[in-house]
Protein backbone atom coordinates (compact mmCIF):
# COMPACT_ATOMS: atom_id res chain seq x y z
CA UNK A 1 0.00 0.00 0.00
CA UNK A 2 1.43 3.39 -1.01
CA UNK A 3 1.28 6.47 1.18
CA UNK A 4 0.15 10.01 0.47
CA UNK A 5 1.82 12.48 2.84
CA UNK A 6 0.25 15.84 3.67
CA UNK A 7 3.29 18.12 3.56
CA UNK A 8 3.06 21.49 5.29
CA UNK A 9 4.68 24.51 3.62
CA UNK A 10 6.06 27.60 5.40
CA UNK A 11 3.76 30.63 5.83
CA UNK A 12 5.62 33.22 3.79
CA UNK A 13 9.38 33.69 3.77
CA UNK A 14 10.24 31.98 7.07
CA UNK A 15 13.21 29.80 8.02
CA UNK A 16 11.96 26.21 7.59
CA UNK A 17 13.69 25.17 10.84
CA UNK A 18 11.32 27.44 12.77
CA UNK A 19 8.13 25.86 11.43
CA UNK A 20 8.85 22.43 9.88
CA UNK A 21 10.16 19.57 12.08
CA UNK A 22 13.47 18.00 11.02
CA UNK A 23 12.00 14.57 10.25
CA UNK A 24 9.19 16.14 8.21
CA UNK A 25 11.81 17.91 6.08
CA UNK A 26 13.58 14.56 5.71
CA UNK A 27 10.44 12.67 4.63
CA UNK A 28 9.60 15.49 2.19
CA UNK A 29 13.01 15.53 0.52
CA UNK A 30 12.90 11.75 -0.01
CA UNK A 31 9.72 11.96 -2.11
CA UNK A 32 9.71 12.33 -5.91
CA UNK A 33 5.94 12.60 -6.63
CA UNK A 34 4.02 15.70 -5.59
CA UNK A 35 0.50 17.04 -5.93
CA UNK A 36 1.00 20.82 -5.84
CA UNK A 37 -1.27 23.86 -5.61
CA UNK A 38 1.38 25.98 -7.33
CA UNK A 39 4.40 24.54 -9.14
CA UNK A 40 6.69 27.53 -8.59
CA UNK A 41 6.12 27.83 -4.83
CA UNK A 42 6.32 24.04 -4.35
CA UNK A 43 9.71 23.89 -6.10
CA UNK A 44 10.94 26.88 -4.11
CA UNK A 45 9.88 25.12 -0.89
CA UNK A 46 11.66 21.88 -1.82
CA UNK A 47 14.88 23.82 -2.59
CA UNK A 48 14.50 25.72 0.70
CA UNK A 49 14.54 22.54 2.79
CA UNK A 50 17.13 20.77 0.59
CA UNK A 51 19.19 22.92 -1.75
CA UNK A 52 20.27 19.87 -3.75
CA UNK A 53 16.71 18.57 -4.19
CA UNK A 54 16.45 16.86 -7.63
CA UNK A 55 13.58 18.92 -9.08
CA UNK A 56 14.18 17.55 -12.60
CA UNK A 57 13.90 13.91 -11.48
CA UNK A 58 10.58 14.57 -9.75
CA UNK A 59 7.01 14.50 -10.98
CA UNK A 60 4.62 17.35 -10.17
CA UNK A 61 0.83 17.11 -10.57
CA UNK A 62 -1.01 20.45 -10.69
CA UNK A 63 -3.99 20.59 -8.28
CA UNK A 64 -4.50 24.38 -8.52
CA UNK A 65 -7.89 26.01 -8.93
CA UNK A 66 -7.94 25.84 -12.75
CA UNK A 67 -7.48 22.08 -12.88
CA UNK A 68 -10.47 19.86 -13.62
CA UNK A 69 -11.19 17.34 -10.85
CA UNK A 70 -11.49 14.61 -13.49
CA UNK A 71 -7.81 15.16 -14.40
CA UNK A 72 -6.84 15.00 -10.74
CA UNK A 73 -8.26 11.48 -10.52
CA UNK A 74 -6.17 10.41 -13.51
CA UNK A 75 -2.91 11.50 -11.85
CA UNK A 76 -3.09 8.46 -9.58
CA UNK A 77 -2.44 6.06 -12.48
CA UNK A 78 0.94 7.77 -13.01
CA UNK A 79 2.13 7.29 -9.42
CA UNK A 80 5.04 4.88 -9.08
CA UNK A 81 5.84 5.49 -5.40
CA UNK A 82 4.72 7.41 -2.29
CA UNK A 83 3.64 10.99 -2.94
CA UNK A 84 3.12 14.26 -1.10
CA UNK A 85 0.61 17.10 -1.30
CA UNK A 86 2.04 20.64 -1.01
CA UNK A 87 -0.09 23.78 -0.80
CA UNK A 88 1.05 27.37 -1.36
CA UNK A 89 1.34 27.92 2.36
CA UNK A 90 0.62 26.03 5.56
CA UNK A 91 -1.25 22.71 5.78
CA UNK A 92 -2.71 21.24 2.59
CA UNK A 93 -6.44 20.40 2.73
CA UNK A 94 -7.13 22.97 5.46
CA UNK A 95 -8.28 26.31 4.01
CA UNK A 96 -6.41 25.18 0.89
CA UNK A 97 -6.77 22.61 -1.91
CA UNK A 98 -6.03 18.97 -1.19
CA UNK A 99 -9.14 17.56 0.52
CA UNK A 100 -10.47 16.18 -2.77
CA UNK A 101 -7.10 14.48 -3.46
CA UNK A 102 -7.21 12.93 0.00
CA UNK A 103 -10.79 11.72 -0.55
CA UNK A 104 -9.89 10.08 -3.88
CA UNK A 105 -6.70 8.58 -2.42
CA UNK A 106 -8.74 7.08 0.44
CA UNK A 107 -11.15 5.47 -2.03
CA UNK A 108 -8.19 4.03 -3.94
CA UNK A 109 -6.78 2.47 -0.75
CA UNK A 110 -3.78 4.75 -0.15
CA UNK A 111 -2.60 5.34 3.38
CA UNK A 112 -2.85 9.04 4.33
CA UNK A 113 -0.24 10.48 6.71
CA UNK A 114 -0.58 14.11 7.88
CA UNK A 115 2.70 15.80 8.87
CA UNK A 116 3.22 18.70 11.29
CA UNK A 117 3.71 22.27 10.12
CA UNK A 118 2.36 25.77 10.59
CA UNK A 119 -1.35 26.61 10.48
CA UNK A 120 -2.36 30.25 10.79
CA UNK A 121 -5.76 29.10 12.07
CA UNK A 122 -4.37 27.17 15.04
CA UNK A 123 -1.55 29.56 15.83
CA UNK A 124 -3.78 32.64 15.77
CA UNK A 125 -6.43 30.90 17.88
CA UNK A 126 -3.86 29.87 20.52
CA UNK A 127 -2.38 33.39 20.65
CA UNK A 128 -5.73 35.21 20.61
CA UNK A 129 -6.64 34.38 24.22
CA UNK A 130 -10.13 33.50 22.93
CA UNK A 131 -12.00 30.25 23.57
CA UNK A 132 -9.94 27.35 22.15
CA UNK A 133 -12.35 24.67 23.44
CA UNK A 134 -14.98 25.62 20.87
CA UNK A 135 -14.26 27.40 17.58
CA UNK A 136 -15.28 27.51 13.93
CA UNK A 137 -13.37 28.41 10.77
CA UNK A 138 -15.46 29.84 7.93
CA UNK A 139 -12.94 30.52 5.17
CA UNK A 140 -13.83 33.65 3.18
CA UNK A 141 -16.81 35.85 4.12
CA UNK A 142 -19.11 37.23 1.36
CA UNK A 143 -17.78 40.15 -0.74
CA UNK A 144 -21.19 41.81 -1.28
CA UNK A 145 -21.53 44.58 1.33
CA UNK A 146 -25.01 43.70 2.60
CA UNK A 147 -24.30 39.96 2.65
CA UNK A 148 -21.06 40.66 4.54
CA UNK A 149 -22.85 42.74 7.20
CA UNK A 150 -25.44 40.00 7.66
CA UNK A 151 -22.72 37.36 7.93
CA UNK A 152 -20.82 39.37 10.56
CA UNK A 153 -23.99 39.70 12.62
CA UNK A 154 -24.66 35.96 12.23
CA UNK A 155 -21.15 35.12 13.44
CA UNK A 156 -21.56 37.35 16.49
CA UNK A 157 -24.83 35.60 17.32
CA UNK A 158 -23.35 32.11 16.91
CA UNK A 159 -20.36 33.12 19.05
CA UNK A 160 -22.62 34.38 21.84
CA UNK A 161 -25.01 31.40 21.67
CA UNK A 162 -22.33 28.67 21.70
CA UNK A 163 -19.40 30.53 23.36
CA UNK A 164 -17.61 29.73 20.09
CA UNK A 165 -14.65 31.65 18.60
CA UNK A 166 -15.33 32.56 14.95
CA UNK A 167 -12.35 32.55 12.56
CA UNK A 168 -12.22 33.80 8.96
CA UNK A 169 -9.91 35.14 6.26
CA UNK A 170 -9.97 37.55 3.33
CA UNK A 171 -8.02 38.04 0.11
CA UNK A 172 -5.12 40.29 1.28
CA UNK A 173 -6.04 43.30 -0.90
CA UNK A 174 -9.53 43.34 0.65
CA UNK A 175 -8.33 43.12 4.29
CA UNK A 176 -8.95 46.80 5.04
CA UNK A 177 -12.52 46.63 3.73
CA UNK A 178 -13.25 43.60 5.94
CA UNK A 179 -11.58 45.23 8.95
CA UNK A 180 -13.68 48.38 8.51
CA UNK A 181 -16.88 46.36 8.13
CA UNK A 182 -16.06 44.54 11.41
CA UNK A 183 -15.37 47.78 13.31
CA UNK A 184 -18.56 49.36 11.97
CA UNK A 185 -20.94 46.43 12.44
CA UNK A 186 -19.77 44.46 15.48
CA UNK A 187 -20.98 45.18 18.98
CA UNK A 188 -18.42 47.51 20.71
CA UNK A 189 -17.80 44.82 23.38
CA UNK A 190 -17.08 42.02 20.86
CA UNK A 191 -13.45 40.91 21.02
CA UNK A 192 -11.63 41.11 17.67
CA UNK A 193 -8.22 39.50 17.11
CA UNK A 194 -6.27 40.51 13.99
CA UNK A 195 -3.31 38.21 13.33
CA UNK A 196 -0.92 39.26 10.57
CA UNK A 197 1.95 37.41 8.83
CA UNK A 198 2.16 34.69 11.49
CA UNK A 199 5.61 33.05 12.01
CA UNK A 200 7.35 35.76 9.94
CA UNK A 201 9.36 38.83 11.06
CA UNK A 202 6.24 40.91 10.45
CA UNK A 203 4.08 38.87 12.84
CA UNK A 204 1.56 40.94 14.82
CA UNK A 205 -1.31 39.44 16.82
CA UNK A 206 -3.57 41.94 18.60
CA UNK A 207 -6.80 41.20 20.51
CA UNK A 208 -9.00 44.11 21.59
CA UNK A 209 -12.69 44.90 22.05
CA UNK A 210 -14.06 46.48 18.88
CA UNK A 211 -14.52 49.79 20.76
CA UNK A 212 -10.73 50.02 21.31
CA UNK A 213 -9.82 48.99 17.74
CA UNK A 214 -11.10 52.38 16.59
CA UNK A 215 -7.92 53.94 18.04
CA UNK A 216 -5.49 51.06 17.23
CA UNK A 217 -3.30 51.13 14.11
CA UNK A 218 -2.36 47.96 12.19
CA UNK A 219 -1.20 47.86 8.59
CA UNK A 220 -2.81 44.78 7.02
CA UNK A 221 -3.17 45.97 3.41
CA UNK A 222 -1.97 43.12 1.15
CA UNK A 223 -0.63 41.25 4.23
CA UNK A 224 -1.62 37.66 5.06
CA UNK A 225 -4.10 38.16 7.86
CA UNK A 226 -6.57 36.07 9.81
CA UNK A 227 -9.47 37.46 11.82
CA UNK A 228 -11.11 36.06 14.96
CA UNK A 229 -14.11 37.32 16.90
CA UNK A 230 -15.59 36.25 20.21
CA UNK A 231 -18.65 37.66 21.91
CA UNK A 232 -19.43 36.69 25.47
Question: Smallest distance, Å, CB 106 to a second copy?
Answer: 5
Residues that bind a second copy (CB under 8 A): 6, 15-24, 91-96, 98-100, 102-103, 105-106, 112-114, 116-119, 121-139, 164, 198-199, 203, 205, 207
Identity of the residue, 40 or 139, whose beta carbon is nearer to a second copy in the bound complex: 139
Question: Smallest distance, Å, CB 183 to a second copy?
Answer: 19
Identity of the residue, 56 or 118, whose beta carbon is nearer to a second copy in the bound complex: 118
Identity of the residue, 95 or 152, whose beta carbon is nearer to a second copy in the bound complex: 95
Question: Smallest distance, Å, CB 205 to a second copy?
Answer: 6
Question: Smallest distance, Å, CB 153 to a second copy?
Answer: 16
Question: Smallest distance, Å, CB 206 to a second copy?
Answer: 9
Q: What is the DSSP letter of 142?
A: P
Identity of the residue, 12 or 98, whose beta carbon is nearer to a second copy in the bound complex: 98
Identity of the residue, 121 or 186, whose beta carbon is nearer to a second copy in the bound complex: 121
Query: β-strand 225-230 against 165-169: which pairing, if any?
Result: antiparallel
Amino acid sequence: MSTIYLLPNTLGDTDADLVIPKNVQQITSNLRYFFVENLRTARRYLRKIDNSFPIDESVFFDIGKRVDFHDVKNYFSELKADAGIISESGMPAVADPGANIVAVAREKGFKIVPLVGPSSILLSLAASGMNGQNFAFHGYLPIDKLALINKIKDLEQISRKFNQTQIFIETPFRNNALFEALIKNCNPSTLLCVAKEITTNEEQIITLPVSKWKKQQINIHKKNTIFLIHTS
